[in-house]
Amino acid sequence: TYGSIGVFVATIAFFVYRAFGSMMFGPTATASHVLVKDRARAEALKAEIEADVAGGAPLRAKFARVAEQHSTCPSAKKGGELGAFKPGQMVKEFDAVVFSGEI
């Protein structure tokens, strides 16, 4: 039937994209962030996340809670998740950090 053919084609497309996607479509990244107004607040939140993770807290869950509670970005509702994006879709400074490979 058409439904099962569609699922089969979608599955093949997924595996082709995983294997060759970055070569065909360029690099993509996913990121989460906590947007705050000043550097001191950012450093304090970073220290809080690092301390909790060192104490055994899961990084992703802790980061999401901090984003939801403190971020001024609309992404705070999603735990700071920005989703997938390509070079040039974010501000230049953010792109430079994300796509430099030195995170």
Domain boundaries, the chain: 29-85
The partner residues of 83 in beta bridges, in order of sequence, read 31
Q: DSSP letter for 31, please.
A: E
Band of pLDDT at residue 30, cut at 50, 70 and 90: confident
Contact by Cβ (8 Å): 84, 29: yes
Which residue in 17, 31, 19 sits closest to 63, CA to CA? 31
Q: Check pLDDT > 60 for residue 34.
A: yes
**Considering only 19-23, 38-42, 75-79, which range has the smallest mean pLDDT?**
19-23
**3-state DSSP assignment of residue 10:** helix
| pLDDT, tens digit, 9 for 90 and up, residues 54-75 | 999 888 899 999 999 999 999 9
**For residues 80-90, average pLDDT:** 88
Q: Is the pTM of this model over 0.95?
A: no
